[in-house]
């Protein structure tokens, strides 16, 4: 990775980790939107699709910050397995795990980016949205 001249190696590593995780989240949510079965499909298909779109938007925002810092954005999604299932409860649990890990990454980033208010704001906004997703999912899981 061409990070070495920027002086922001740690930030770029975390940003690329977040981007790779968002790309994984996009696939996870679109996969579950396609496979969710039964009466819950009525609600959960659009819900998962909305979360997939949010992951795309987050990935886009993170990628723009990597470019701004002079880094090279990853094109690879995080390799962590996406569990295949048609059981909506398992889907919600996997989504919860995914959002929790995403939120942890953004929390780590917030501690690294106070040198750049615009970057901080961008990460903070994503972090709030991840927090909302976690709260919503924990209600859905009950
Ligand atoms: Fe996200």
pLDDT, tens digit, for every residue of 27-67?
999 999 999 999 999 999 999 999 999 999 999 999 999 99
Q: Distance, CA 32 to ligand 1 centroid (Å)?
A: 16
Where in the sequence is the domain holding 57, given as residue range(s)?
A: 9-141
Structural contact between residues 105 and 4, judged by C-beta atoms closer than 8 angstroms: no
Give the integer Cα–Cα distance in Å for 18 and 103. 9
**Residue 2 belongs to some domain of the structure:** no
**Residue 4 belongs to some domain of the structure:** no
φ/ψ (deg, to 5) at 137: -65, -40
| Burial classification of residue 93, based on how many CB atoms lie within 10 Å of its CB (0-12 exposed, 13-18 middle, 19 or more buried) | middle
**Residue 1 belongs to some domain of the structure:** no
Domain count, the chain: 1
Give the number of other Cβ atoms within 10 Å of residue 73's Cβ.
17
Tell me the CATH number at 62.
1.20.1260.10
Tell me, yes or no, if the pTM score tops 0.75. yes
How would residue 3 be classed by pLDDT, with cut points 50, 70 and 90? Answer: very low
Q: Distance, CA 101 to ligand 1 centroid (Å)?
A: 10
How much of the chain exceeds pLDDT 90, in percent? 94
């Amino acid at each position: 990775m061409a990070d070495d001249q920027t002086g922001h190696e740690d930030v770029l590593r975390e940003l690329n980790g977040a981007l790779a995780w968002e790309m994984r989240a996009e696939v996870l949510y679109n996969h579950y939107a396609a496979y969710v079965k039964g009466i819950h499909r009525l609600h959960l298909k659009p819900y998962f699709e909305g979360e997939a779109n949010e992951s795309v938007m987050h990935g886009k925002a993170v990628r723009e910050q990597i470019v701004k810092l002079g880094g090279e954005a990853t094109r690879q999604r995080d390799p962590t397995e996406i569990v295949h299932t048609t059981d909506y409860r398992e889907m919600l649990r996997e989504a919860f795990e995914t959002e929790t890990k995403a939120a942890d990454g953004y929390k780590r980033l917030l501690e690294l980016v106070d040198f750049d208010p615009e970057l901080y704001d961008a990460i903070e906004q994503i972090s709030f949205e991840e927090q909302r997703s976690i709260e919503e999912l924990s209600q859905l899981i009950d």
